[in-house]
Amino acid sequence: MDKFIIEGGNKLQGRVKISGSKNAALPIIAAAILTDEELILKNIPDLKDITTMINLLKELGCFAKKENGTLYIRCKNIKSSKAPYELVKTMRASILVLGPLLARTGVAYVSMPGGCAIGVRPINLHLKALEIMGANINIDKGYIVAQSKKLTGGEIYFDTPTVTGTENILMAAATAGGKTVIKNAAKEPEIVDLANILNNMGANIEGAGTSTIIVNGVKKLGGIEYSVMNDRIEAGTFMCAALITSSFIEIENAPVYAMDAIVDKFREAGGIVEQKGDNLIIAGGKIIKPVNIKTSVYPGFPTDMQAQFISVLSLAEGVSIVKETIFENRFQHVAELNRMNADIVVSNNQAVINGVETLIGATVMATDLRASASLVIAALAAEGVTEILRIYHLDRGYENMETKLANLGAKIRRIKA
Ligand code: EPU
C-alpha cells in the first residue's frame, strides 16, 4: 500500500487547478445506462472510484474509453443486469446503477452495499422509493433483486434527504410512465448537475436544487456531450491547506456558487477569500480563529469538509466545537490527529477541539477518503515529518493530490508499495 511522506512547516504559493467532481461524475456515468446512444463526458477526474464505476458499466456490457479527461461511453446493449459484490464492496456508490438498470432492462441485481468506515449507511430510502414506482424488490443472498416491467411515476417523500437516493430516483423516473414528485429531495449541486445532463439527454426534470423535484417521464433519452462540474470539496480541501499554513494561493475553476458554507467558515476562521472570475484568491490569516461548525445537508456545511476543518481548527487560538449530524462514525481522523499532538475530545456526535500551538509529525493511518485529506492538511503544518499510511483511500477521490501540493511548494512524496 502506497504512503505519503510529508515534511511540514512550508508555506504554499502559486496556483492549483480543481478537477471534475467525483460525486457529480459518478451518477452521470451511471446515467449512460439510460440510453443506447453515446455520451461524451468531459472533465471526468482520474480517480479510483471513477475507474470502478467505468468497470462496473463495462461489466454490464457498455463500451467505455477514457482519453485525457474525456469519457466516451455507450451502452448500446445491456448484456448483464448484475452489479457484482466484488465491485460494489470497493465502492458504495455502485448503488447508483440500481435506478437506471431497472429503468432500462426491467431488472437489476445489485449487491447490497455494506456499511463503511463512516457509518452504517442504509439504502432503505432508495428501495422504498423504487417500490412506490412499481418495482418489486427482494433481498437474496446479499443482493437486491429489483424487477419491474415498466416503472411508473409516483409521489415520493424522503424521510431524510439522501444524495445518491435522490439521484437514483431521478434516473429511474426519467423514463418512467407519468409524473414522479420527489419531496424532501437532497439539494446538493451534484444533483443539479445530474438533472442538467438528463434534461440535455431529453428528460423533463424541474426543481433540481430545491426540495421538490418533478420528473415527467419521457419515452427515450439520447446521447450528448456534457462537461461535469468542478469539485467543491477538492477546492475546499485546498482552502484548508492554505489556511493551516497561512499561505496565499489561487484556486482555479472552483465552483464558487456551490461553496457558500465552506467560504463562510473559512472566513470565520480568519482566512481571506476573494473571487476573481471562476478563481478564488485565498489567504490564510496570521492566526487561526476558533469556529463552531455543524454539518448538515446542502446548503449547510458539508460533512465531506468536516475532517479537513478539524485539522485546521486543531491549531486555532481557542476552543472550537464541531457537530457531525449526517454520519454516525465520521470522527476516525481525530485519534490520528491526537497522535500528532492535537487536543480533540469526541463525545457522541461532537468534537471539542482545544487549539494547540503545534502539531508534531508522526506515523498516522488514513481510514477513509476525507480523513486522509485531513491528515495531509495537518501534516503540511506539523513540525517534522509525517508518514501517512493507506493513502489508497485518498486516491479514491483526489486527483493527483501530491503533484498539486508539490507544485504549490509542499514537501510531499509518495512511496509506492
Ligand atoms: N440514509 C438513510 N437511508 C437511505 C439513504 C441515506 O437513512 O436510504 C441516511 C444516511 O445514513 C445518512 C444520510 O441519510 O445519515 C445522508 O446520506 P446520503 O444518502 O445523502 O449519502 P450518500 O448518498 O450515500 C453522498 C456522497 C458522500 C457524502 C454524502 C452526504 C456520493 C457518491 N457520496 O453519499 O460522499 O458524504 O452524500 O453529503 O455522492 C465522499 O465523497 O467522501 C462521500 C462520503
CATH number at residue 301: 3.65.10.10
Atom number, ligand 1, closest to the C-alpha of residue 327: 15
pLDDT confidence band for 121 (50 / 70 / 90): confident
Q: Assess whether pLDDT exceeds 80 at residue 255.
A: yes
Residues 11 and 37 in one domain: no
| Residues 237 and 218 reside in one and the same domain | no
Answer with the one of 176, 192, 227 that is the final residue of a domain: 227
* Residues above pLDDT 90, as percent of the chain: 95
Integer Cα distance of 266 and 245 in angstroms: 13
At 119, the pLDDT band (50, 70, 90 cuts) reads confident
**Residues 161 and 241 both lie in one domain:** no
Instruction: Please list the residues that pair with 279 across neighbouring strands.
Output: 276
**Which of 86, 74, 137, 133 has its CA nearest to residue 109?**
137
My answer on whether 92 and 106 are in the same domain is yes
326 and 281 belong to one structural domain: yes
Which of 203, 227, 251 is the endpoint of a domain?
227
**37 with 108, same domain?**
yes
Q: Does residue 114 have a pLDDT over 90?
A: no
pLDDT surpassing 90 at residue 44: yes
According to DSSP, the β-strands at 350-354 and 343-347 are antiparallel
Confidence at residue 62, expressed as pLDDT on a 0 to 100 scale: 98
Exposed/middle/buried for residue 247 (C-beta within 10 Å: 0-12, 13-18, 19+): buried
Do 234 and 383 share a domain, yes or no? Answer: yes
Least Cα distance to 42 among 225, 304, 204 occurs for 225
- Per the prediction, the chain carries an average pLDDT of 96
**In this predicted structure, which of 17-21, 106-110, 124-128, 325-329 has the lowest mean pLDDT?**
325-329
Shared-domain flag, residues 256 and 372 = yes
Q: Identify the pLDDT of residue 352.
A: 98
Mean pLDDT (whole number) for 183-209: 98
Place 105 in a pLDDT band, splitting at 50, 70 and 90. Answer: very high
Our answer on whether the CB atom of 128 is closer than 6 Å to any ligand 1 atom is: no
For residue 379, the enclosing domain spans: 3-19+230-415
Residue 244 buriedness (CB in 10 A; 0-12 / 13-18 / 19+): buried
Name the domain count of the chain: 2
Reply yes or no on whether the pLDDT at 382 is more than 90: yes
Q: What is the pLDDT of residues 287-339, one digit of tens each?
A: 999 999 999 999 999 999 999 999 999 999 999 999 999 998 899 999 999 99
Q: Are residues 75 and 110 in the same domain?
A: yes
Mutate to test the pocket of ligand 1, among 95, 124, 160 (most ligand atoms within 8 A of CB): 160
Ligand 1 atom nearest residue 119's Cα: 11
User: Which amino acid is it at 183?
Assistant: K
Residue nearest to atom 25 of ligand 1 (CA): 163
| Beta carbons within 10 angstroms of residue 278's beta carbon | 14
pLDDT(120) > 80: no
pLDDT of residue 417: 86
Task: Tell me if 403 CB under 6 Å of ligand 1.
Answer: no
116 carries an active-site annotation = yes
| Given the residues 62, 75, 116, 240, the one annotated as active site | 116
C-alpha dihedral over 359, 364, 370, 376, to 10 degrees? Answer: 50
Residue 131 and residue 172 in one domain: yes
Question: What pLDDT is recorded for position 79?
Answer: 97
pLDDT at 152 (0 to 100):
98
Asked if residue 326 has its Cβ within 6 Å of ligand 1, the reply is yes
Distance 126 CA to ligand 1 centre (A): 11
For residue 71, pLDDT over 90 is answered with yes
What is the CB neighbour count within 10 angstroms for residue 204?
Answer: 14
pLDDT at 160: 97
> What is the percent of the chain where pLDDT is above 70?
100
**C-alpha of residue 33 to centroid of ligand 1, in Å:** 22
122 lines ligand 1 (CB under 6 A): yes
How confident is the model at residue 278, as a pLDDT? 85
Is residue 18 within 8 Å of 230, Cβ to Cβ? Answer: yes
158 Cβ below 6 A of ligand 1: no
Which atom, in ligand 1's list, is nearest to the CA of 186? 20
Same domain (yes/no): 117, 265: no
- pLDDT, one tens digit per residue, over 23-33 is 999 999 999 99
The reply to whether 188 and 245 lie within a common domain is no
Query: For a pocket test of ligand 1, which of 49, 128, 164, 324 has the largest count of ligand atoms closer than 8 A to its C-beta?
Result: 164
pLDDT tens-digit series, residues 3-16: 999 999 999 999 99
Which residue intervals of 175-259 are DSSP H helices? 189-200, 232-244
28 lines ligand 1 (CB under 6 A): no
DSSP 3-state of 181: strand
Residue 144 has a pLDDT of 96
Place 247 in a pLDDT band, splitting at 50, 70 and 90: very high
For residue 369, what pLDDT is reported?
95
Using 50, 70 and 90 to split pLDDT, how confident is the model at 116? confident
For residue 327 and ligand 1, the question of a CB distance below 6 A is answered with yes
Burial classification of residue 145, based on how many CB atoms lie within 10 Å of its CB (0-12 exposed, 13-18 middle, 19 or more buried)? middle
Mean pLDDT to the nearest integer, 140-152: 95
190 CA to centre of ligand 1 in angstroms: 12
pLDDT in tens, 177-189: 999 999 999 999 9
- Given 178, 198, 227, which residue is the final one in a domain? 227
> What is the CA angle 358-359-360, rounded to 5?
115
| pLDDT at residue 47, rounded to an integer | 96
Distance 12 CA to ligand 1 centre (A): 32
